[in-house]
Amino acid sequence: MTPKLKKSLLYWLLLSPLCVVILLPFGIMFVTALRPRDELFVYPPTWTFSEFRWENFAEMWVKTNFGGALLNSLYVSLTSTIIAIVLSIPAAYALSRYRFSGKGLYRNFLLMTQMMSPIVLVLGLFRLMVHLNLVNSLNSLVVTYVAFNMAFTIWMLQSYFNTIPRELEEASWIDGATSFTSLVKIFLPLAVPAMVVTAIFTFINSWNEFVLALTLIRSQNDYTLPVQIFSQVAGRYQVEWHHVMAATVLATVPVAIVFSWLQRYLIRGMALGAVK
């Protein structure tokens, strides 16, 4: 046996308990989503079931108003991602390319906002939205998600911008480009991958947010997915677990796939910025 193979076996052995614990609930999610309703509560509980009930998904879609919640989630996540990126690009560019007084202060300010969690401020935020007449409006979520994500997006963009050599822009100025041409023809094309990656992470953050969505949205029609699914579970005597699990499958699997595909960028970002 080669040393590498030996090492691999050892590592997988060490990692397996964690992997099992991580994957187990997903397995449970799938087998629950697919089993007939009357096989949910059998004693003793078992993994096996009589048939694959794909209809569960269709039923769930109608009964839980999944489509509506999906649209709400999409609206909130897309809008807040776009706004966050649009506001963050100039700020990240300034941090990466200019020296100016107050730069250090601004970076520390961003760090502070990143640390402030929605939950501690949730009461104040709720009252703010009441003042602005935004309670029950999805836009209240958009605004707050942008604000709470901005530190992350600026930091992430900045650490990528720093890897684009400043000389490229200088060379283009000497070649006769205006600042604007240089930005459009040289800088932005090179920054596209960074912007896409950052946007996707922001999207996932917004997609998964719970506390603010639970607090600022009061009417069932405007629930986002996490709140909608939670509302199927919380405070009910009769929970339709097969529907809940079917909804969870639809809400998590696409995001998990995209995230898995992108996680190495996050690690690289950490290495670049060393968690700054």
Cα–Cα distance for residue pair 275/249, rounded to 1 Å = 32
Q: Which positions from 62 through 81 interact with another protein, judged by CB under 8 A?
A: none
Stretch that binds another protein, among 52-60, 62-70, 74-82, 161-169 (CB under 8 A): 161-169
Residue 40 in contact with another protein, rule: CB under 8 A: yes
Residue 7 in contact with another protein, rule: CB under 8 A: yes
Tokens of 33: 């989503």
Tokens of 71: 């649209």
CB of 55 to another protein, least distance (A): 20
* Inter-axis angle of helices 138-161 and 241-273, nearest 10: 30
Decide: helix, strand or coil at residue 200: helix
Residue 58 in contact with another protein, rule: CB under 8 A: no
Angle (CA) 9 10 13, round 5°: 85
72 close to 80: Cβ distance less than 8 angstroms: no
Residue showing tokens 């989503």: 33
Residue 128 in contact with another protein, rule: CB under 8 A: yes
Measured from the CB atom, the residue of 178 and 221 that comes closer to another protein is 178
Q: Which positions from 162 through 221 interact with another protein, judged by CB under 8 A?
A: 165, 167-168, 170-178, 181, 186, 189-190, 204, 207-211, 215
Stretch that binds another protein, among 53-61, 62-70, 74-82, 86-94 (CB under 8 A): 86-94
